[in-house]
């Protein structure tokens, strides 16, 4: 294996670690927000996996050319959540009430 390939592999691993850390921060922030302080490591990791899958799916839909509204509807269908609930939470985030 060439030094360049080893460096590229190391950078890819580092990028994935950063991505997982950012998703973990989102999960932990949401858990704190709802008052869930006793989550196990496996529950947190499961939440991280869900966040990363959602981000990957959203990126794929964007590449397909879907609008933000279409992505919102597809995401709501995918997670079995009413669109109105997602819109309410989004507005709360924008208003700083989240």
Q: First vs last Cα of the chain: how many Å apart? A: 48
CA 64/CA 74 separation, integer angstroms: 13
Gyration radius of the chain over CA positions:
17
CA 70/CA 67 separation, integer angstroms: 5
Q: Choose among 51, 75, 49: nearest CA to 62.
A: 75
52 contacts 23 by C-beta, under 8 angstroms: yes
Q: What mean pLDDT do residues 30-38 have?
A: 88
- Tens digit of each residue's pLDDT (9 = 90 or more) over 66-75: 998 899 899 8
- Tens digit of each residue's pLDDT (9 = 90 or more) over 2-28: 999 999 999 999 999 999 999 999 999
């Amino acid at each position: 294996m060439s030094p360049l390939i080893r460096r590229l592999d190391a950078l890819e691993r580092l990028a994935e670690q950063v991505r997982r850390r950012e998703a973990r921060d989102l999960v932990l922030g949401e858990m704190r927000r709802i008052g869930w302080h006793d989550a196990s490591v496996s529950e947190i990791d499961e939440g991280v996996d869900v966040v990363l899958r959602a981000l990957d799916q959203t990126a794929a839909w964007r590449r397909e050319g879907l609008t933000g509204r279409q992505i919102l509807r597809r995401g709501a269908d995918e997670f079995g959540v009413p669109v109105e609930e997602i819109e309410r939470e989004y507005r709360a985030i924008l208003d700083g009430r989240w």
